[in-house]
A and B are shown apart, each in its own frame.
Chain A
Amino acid sequence: MEIIENLNWAIIAPFFIIQLILLLVAIIDLVKIEKTNGPKWLWAIIILVVNIIGPILYFVIGRRNN
């Protein structure tokens, strides 16, 4: 696992931080929102498990507009 030590964390870190922000915003919204497009627990799994795409999918499809 030498490569992990050699990574330049200053460069990689923002990438993960952005991902984390997306994930957190999606989860907080999911907790607050009344109804989603489809079962709530399913969206929770999608947001947590599917990397990057999960939160985006939730915002695009999962949120009901009204």
Chain B
Amino acid sequence: MSQFVVLLKKELLESWRNFKWIWMPLTFILLGVMDPITQNYLPKILDTMGDLPEGAVIQLPVPSAEEVISMSLANIDMLGILILVLASMGIIAGERKSGVAAMILVKPVSHHYFVMSKWLSSLLLMWISLFLGLLASWYYTGLLFEFIPFSDFLLSFVLYGIWLSLVITITIFYNAFLKTPGLVGFISLATIIILNMVSGILTEWLAWSPARLMSYASQSLMQDGLPENTIASIVLTVLIMIVLLFTSVFIFRKKELAV
């Protein structure tokens, strides 16, 4: 276990030196803050900048606080996932390419710990960044529109965080058997987009799909209690994560022997 702690510390130190701990939270905060601000100022901007004839009246419906926060969620769902995948696409593949992984694994280091430490450190960074980003969105929505209960915010944060955890696990999984970081990023994104699209179209059949967690997260803002099928979706997501992690350790060990 102490070996795991050492590896985890090494990972955290490395992502600190890469400035990941600075730019990732800041980026998520920017993503979260953007929607409340633009939604609030959009009518005013249209008023002054828009080339409208005199007397034209545009009535934009004022979105509710819950709607603004779910817009932030949707924003993070597009750009946040892109950033997460790009940031973690080289996490094992890059080290293998440069030979660092071989240098570490030549020592009696468990492959389990090696992969798990990378997984956990990315997960930690993601959860903290996501929390700060959504917290900023919640606070700004509160200032500019109205405050929604903090517990509602926490619920949607956790639901959404579980989906992003799967995104990271998928990236780590591809990392285990592909050597080129770019390829890892591309295939991970493709997998996530296909998953998203298919479960977006077949909402009835794939109600328990992990990709639905995003819409459950925003639904949970609008209504009381958990949306239907949320629990099934969470359970399935966690199961897939466990399976993916174990398979990636397995594949990684085989690949490592072959190289």
Chain A residues engaging chain B, CB cutoff 8 angstroms: 2-3, 6-7, 11-12, 14-15, 18-19, 21-22, 25-26, 29, 52, 55-56, 59-61, 63, 65-66
Contacts and interface: CB of A to CB of B under 8 A. Distances in A.
27 contacts: A3-B44, A6-B44, A11-B37, A11-B143, A12-B37, A14-B33, A15-B30, A15-B37, A18-B29, A18-B33, A19-B30, A22-B27, A22-B30, A25-B22, A29-B19, A55-B23, A56-B27, A59-B18, A59-B19, A60-B86, A60-B87, A61-B86, A63-B18, A65-B18, A65-B94, A65-B95, A66-B98
Contacts of B22: 21, 25
Nearest to A15: B33
Interface of B: 18-20, 22-23, 26-27, 29-30, 33-34, 37, 41, 44-45, 47-48, 83, 86-87, 90, 94-95, 98, 100, 140, 143-144
Contact of B83 (A3, A19, A56): A56
Contacts, number: 56
A5 to B, nearest CB: 11
The 5 closest A-B CB pairs, nearest first, are A60-B86, A3-B48, A65-B94, A59-B23, A66-B98
Contacts of A59: 18-20, 23, 87
B83 A60 contact: yes
A11 B90 contact: no
Nearest to A52: B30
